[in-house]
């Protein structure tokens, strides 16, 4: 089977591309490299000895998509391409809606025109908004995400749901990611954000290697064990594996299906920080700051639906995640450009 992976040079996309190649799939990567590097695909090749077709281009470019579907016999699409920085989305909402919503619509139109109806979509636990209870199940109502990034994910979910109602040939997986961290165990693939990282673990990593001075922790008065926010962190290699399982599942049935991809365990910011300090053997300075608007106290998955329906379960724990992150970060303090 040949899979089109949009955003396949990005953090989750590249780990999934590796997993696909290792599992024997052929892979075509479409990536505009606006927040990723083709060095990630060189690392993929070095690790598994196989390579993906790399096409540099944009998921909003319909003629390019048509060409890809004409030149490759694509069986399914894994759609990672998108903008993902929450804070930036508040400042540049049109770019987020154009890329994330517009790109998804354009991709689906090109797929339908080419007769390709299998799609795995990178959604996010942010679509739940502020759930009333934990853990979060897939049948919880979707909330009103407080930023354009989250809105764009929810809009695409709803578009895909309408699409599936209109055209029963579609097989669609909505994968709601919790908080992907970690890196490939080789230490040669990992997260390589442009500029100042937006997420906790890349930020901690850069403090640990000395690129940034200290970590800001936003809020230590949440109703959690130590007062800092609790999230469900999931190892990116587990997450990649979840995509393969979802792909297999939708290859056997049509309709639209939603799965949480998380471990089911919540860890606080301080727990992650201390685990990281243990892994890297040095202190990570931090400063307590007031809560950030839009943050919730805790968020963790009920991961049982994916376990039951996909036979998938995260197998890597927090220690694995921080150890693998640290290996990547200390090998490559400047990411792929180093």
Catalytic residues: 149
Using the rule CB under 8 A, is 159 a contact of a copy of itself? yes
By CB under 8 A, which span of 92-100, 115-123, 260-268, 291-299 interacts with a copy of itself?
Answer: 92-100
Contact residue for a copy of itself among 2, 42, 92, 274 (CB under 8 A): 92
Establish if 150 lies at the interface with a copy of itself (CB under 8 A).
no
320 touches a copy of itself by CB under 8 A = no
How far is Cα 239 from Cα 316, in angstroms, rounded to an integer? 10
Question: Does 165 participate in binding a copy of itself (rule CB under 8 A)?
Answer: yes
**H helix or E strand, kind and range, residue 93:** helix 93-96
Looking at beta carbons only, is 105 or 209 nearer to a copy of itself? 105
Return the SS3 of 70: helix
Chain-centre distance of CA 99, in angstroms? 16
Helix (H) or strand (E) holding 230: strand 230-231
44: left (phi over 0), alpha (psi -120 to 50) or beta: alpha
Q: Which of 148, 187, 193, 266 binds a copy of itself (CB under 8 A)?
A: 148
Closest distance to a copy of itself from the beta carbon of 7 (Å)? 19
Find the shortest distance in angstroms from Cβ 158 to a copy of itself.
6
Q: How far is CA 178 from the centre of its chain?
A: 8
Residue 271 in 3-state DSSP? Answer: helix
**Closest approach of a copy of itself to the CB of residue 193, in Å:** 21
How far apart (Å, rounded) are the C-alpha atoms in residues 285 and 282? 10
Looking at the DSSP assignment, which residues form a beta bridge with residue 55? 30
Binding window for a copy of itself (CB under 8 A); candidates: 84-92, 187-195, 292-300, 321-329: 84-92
Which one of the spans 66-74, 157-165, 201-209, 308-316 is the region binding a copy of itself (CB under 8 A)?
A: 157-165
- Asked if 91 interacts with a copy of itself (CB under 8 A), we say yes
- Report how many residues bind a copy of itself under the rule CB under 8 A: 23
Asked whether the beta carbons of 72 and 64 are under 8 A apart, the reply is: no
Report the C-alpha gap between 338 and 331 in whole angstroms.
Answer: 9
Tell me: does residue 169 bind a copy of itself (CB under 8 A): no
Stretch binding a copy of itself (CB under 8 A), from 1-9, 39-47, 89-97, 271-279: 89-97
Q: Which is nearer to a copy of itself, 111 or 217 (CB)?
A: 111
Q: Dihedral sign for Cα 220, 91, 266, 319, please.
A: negative
**Listed residue (73, 165, 157, 156) closest to 115, CA to CA:** 73
Taking the C-alpha atoms of residue 253 and residue 250, their distance in angstroms, rounded to an integer, is 5
Distance from C-alpha of 22 to C-alpha of 52, rounded to nearest angstrom? 11
Of the candidate residues 162, 214, 221, 226, the single one contacting a copy of itself (CB under 8 A)? 162
Query: Could you write out the DSSP letters of every residue in 287-305?
Result: EEEPPPTT--SEE-B--HH
Min CB(138)–a copy of itself separation in Å: 18
* Contact predicate 81/101, CB 8 Å: no
Q: Which residue in 73, 158, 216, 331 binds a copy of itself (CB under 8 A)? A: 158
Q: Sign of the CA dihedral 70, 72, 73, 76?
A: negative
The residue from 155, 174, 246, 270 that contacts a copy of itself (CB under 8 A) is 155
Residues 99-118 that bind a copy of itself (CB under 8 A): 101-102, 105-106, 108-109, 112
With binding defined as CB under 8 A, does residue 163 bind a copy of itself?
A: yes
Q: List residues binding a copy of itself (CB under 8 A).
A: 90-94, 97-98, 101-102, 105-106, 108-109, 112, 148, 151, 155, 158-159, 162-163, 165-166
């Amino acid at each position: 089977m040949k899979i089109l992976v949009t955003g396949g040079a990005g953090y989750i996309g590249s780990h999934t591309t590796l997993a696909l190649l290792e599992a024997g799939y052929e892979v075509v990567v479409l990536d505009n490299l606006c927040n990723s590097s083709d060095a990630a695909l060189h690392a993929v090749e070095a690790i598994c000895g196989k390579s993906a077709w790399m096409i540099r281009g944009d998921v909003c470019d319909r003629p390019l998509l048509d060409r890809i579907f004409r030149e490759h016999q694509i069986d399914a699409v894994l759609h990672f391409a998108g903008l993902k920085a929450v804070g930036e989305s508040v400042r540049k909402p049109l770019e987020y809606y154009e890329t994330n919503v517009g790109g998804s619509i354009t991709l689906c139109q090109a797929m339908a025109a080419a007769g390709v109806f299998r799609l795995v979509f990178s959604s996010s636990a942010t679509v739940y908004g502020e759930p009333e209870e934990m853990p979060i199940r897939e049948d919880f109502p979707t909330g009103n995400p407080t930023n354009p990034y989250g809105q764009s994910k929810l809009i695409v979910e709803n578009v895909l749901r309408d699409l599936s109602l209109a055209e029963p040939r579609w097989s669609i997986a909505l994968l709601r990611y919790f908080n992907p961290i970690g890196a490939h165990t080789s230490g040669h693939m990992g997260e390589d954000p442009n500029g100042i990282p937006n997420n906790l673990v890349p930020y901690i990593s850069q403090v640990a290697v000395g690129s940034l001075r200290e970590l800001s922790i936003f809020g230590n008065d949440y109703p959690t064990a130590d007062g800092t926010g609790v999230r469900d962190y999931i190892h990116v290699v587990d997450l990649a594996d979840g995509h393969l399982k979802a792909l297999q599942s939708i290859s056997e049935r049509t309709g639209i299906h939603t799965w949480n991809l998380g471990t089911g365990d919540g860890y606080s910011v301080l727990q992650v920080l201390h685990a990281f300090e243990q892994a890297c053997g040095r202190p990570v300075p931090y400063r307590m700051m007031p809560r950030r608007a839009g943050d919730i106290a805790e968020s963790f998955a009920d991961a049982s639906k994916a376990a039951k329906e996909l036979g998938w379960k995260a197998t890597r724990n927090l220690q694995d995640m921080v150890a693998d992150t640290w290996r990547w970060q200390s090998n490559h303090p400047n990411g792929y450009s180093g």
